[in-house]
Chains A and B, each alone.
Chain A
Amino acid sequence: MRRTDGELILLWMLPALAIIWLAVFLLFPGFVQPMSPTMSAEEVAAFYRDPENLPRIRYSMIVFNWFSVGLIPLLALIVMQIRRMAHRTPIFSYSIIACAAGGPTIFLLANLFWLLAAFRPERDPELTLLLNDLAWVTFASQVGFLIAQSVILALAIYLDRQARPVFEPWVAHFNLLVAAAMVPASFVGLAMEGPIAWDGLLTFWVRNIAVGLWIAVMGVVLGQAIYRQRDAEGVAA
């Protein structure tokens, strides 16, 4: 069995994960029409107490708890491709490993706050509001590692100077664009309404669509790269 076969198995997990993530997104009642930060403590508590919502919150977040770290294999595959690039040092592959170790932990943390908020919805509404705030701010503002992994990947691609580069230059441009799209989300605390509030156009829609798009595009170009590598290995063998 070739090394790339295992990588392809990891890669083909991605569509399944994407379906799960999309299902979580649709199942969680606070996402499709994102919860507004202007909701009062009573409204937030009522949201969690609502017998319509509660099971959906719990089950969606339990599933998210299972699969939020599913992004790590994708990053590991990117690391494997960066290693094939014409670099002199493993700096970029190390950096992506560091991003992989740091980033998903944060999503897991947001997930835990949501689950905790839903665990005892009958508690003091102020406490539920606090947990809800922690969950949303963690989820929305933590773009640092996502930005970093896109920028580092772009740098790695730009410096991959060989006749047949691992990724086309447009992948690097695309990554920089994605990184730029995520920047406004970190200002989430500044506004309760408008585009940078956590339910706003920039923070919620642009950023999450950017993440989704990034996963989709990287999945496709990774697939191309791995299949090409596999063919090359086949010829060599």
Chain B
Amino acid sequence: MSTGFDKRLIVAWLALSAITITQLGVGSLQDGLRPNAAITSGAIVIALIKVRIIFREFMEVRHAPVLLCRLTDLWVVVAGVSLLGCYFVGMAFSSGFSLR
């Protein structure tokens, strides 16, 4: 039983670290200094996936009552929607203003 749990933790940790290391690749992208909606959305979504893994595996929300699962998932969704929403709405407004 012990090793079973331990394995799950290792897998979670390796997955999280691997995702993080792939984000190094963004740094080597030579796209100049321009806003990039794809990278931004990717960064936010990946971060939230990582957060959810931390919730479920490390913080053991997996085994917690359904209410806590729902609440944490709700927060992940709210954070995702509001961060992405603010980014896209904000960008639309700022480019709209710069066009005029």
Any A–B CB pair closer than 8 Å: no
